Amino acid sequence: MVCLQISNKNKQTNKNCFLKSCNACFSCTVVSPPYTIYMGKDKYENEDLIKYGWPEDIWFHVDKLSSAHVYLRMPKGTTIEDIPKEVLIDCTQLVKNNSIQGCKMNNINVVYTPWGNLKKTADMDVGQIGFHRQKEVKIVAVEKKINEIINRLEKTQEERYPDLAAEKESRDREERSEKKAQLQEQKKKEKEEMKMKKEMEELRNYSSLMKSDNMTTNEDGYDSDDFM
């Protein structure tokens, strides 16, 4: 699992170091199997999260306030509609806790949307994003901070050093391989179905021919009663 949080130290040295840096990720253990949540700490880190996100990722942000960009990695084949309620609460609590203003406020809103709906254009500031389709952006109200949730999540925090570009390419390569295998299987199935259809057609033609031959033989034959 790729966990994408980039250290300030790497940001200050070499821009290319964004590809390999210290990442913090959290495990949402209120469900089984657990979900992985990861985030960026500032706009420079968020920039690479936007660039190297996965189609399975769901992006969270405090609405109308500055906050970390929190990502939830969903299992393949699931959508934003499939997020368990407990997992959604964990994500909203984490993003609220990582907002300078939001962490001190009650009754805030958190927006979330699939990574694929994030829009980045050349004229945008570092770490800034928009949306391709506003209707795909969901909003949820967060009444207050729940310390028990934050404490539980922080106990699961891990540091990792992934190559973001390589991990994304590996994921995409695996998907291409799966699609290729599915296409080959589909072609094989279609070929077998065509073969079976042809065999059934030949069998019907043969049966029809045999029936016609039998009728001709009966018409041209002799009735044994004629000789009595």
The amino acid occupying position 103 is C
Task: Report residue 35 as tokens.
Answer: 């979900």
CA distance 59 to 91: 9
- Write out pLDDT tens, residues 184-223: 999 999 999 999 998 888 888 877 777 666 665 555 555 5
What are the DSSP calls for 111-129, one per residue? EEEEGGGEE--TTSPTT--
The average pLDDT across 141-163 equals 91
CA distance 153 to 22: 18
CB half-sphere exposure, 14, CA atoms < 13 A: 5
For residue 221, what pLDDT is reported? Answer: 54
Q: How far is CA 181 from the centre of its chain?
A: 19
Residues 139-152 as b/e (b if ≥16 CB within 10 A, e otherwise) read eeebeebbeebbeb
Bridge partners (DSSP) of residue 69 are 40
The average pLDDT across 157-175 equals 84
For residue 12, what pLDDT is reported? Answer: 39
The amino acid occupying position 97 is N
Three-state SS sequence of 140-156: EEECCCCHHHHHHHHHC
Helix 85-97 vs helix 147-155: angle between axes, to the nearest 10 degrees?
90
- Write out pLDDT tens, residues 88-132: 999 999 999 999 999 999 999 999 999 999 999 999 998 889 999
- Write out pLDDT tens, residues 51-91: 999 999 999 999 999 999 999 999 999 999 999 999 999 99
Q: Does the reported pTM lie above 0.75?
A: no
CA distance 95 to 76: 23
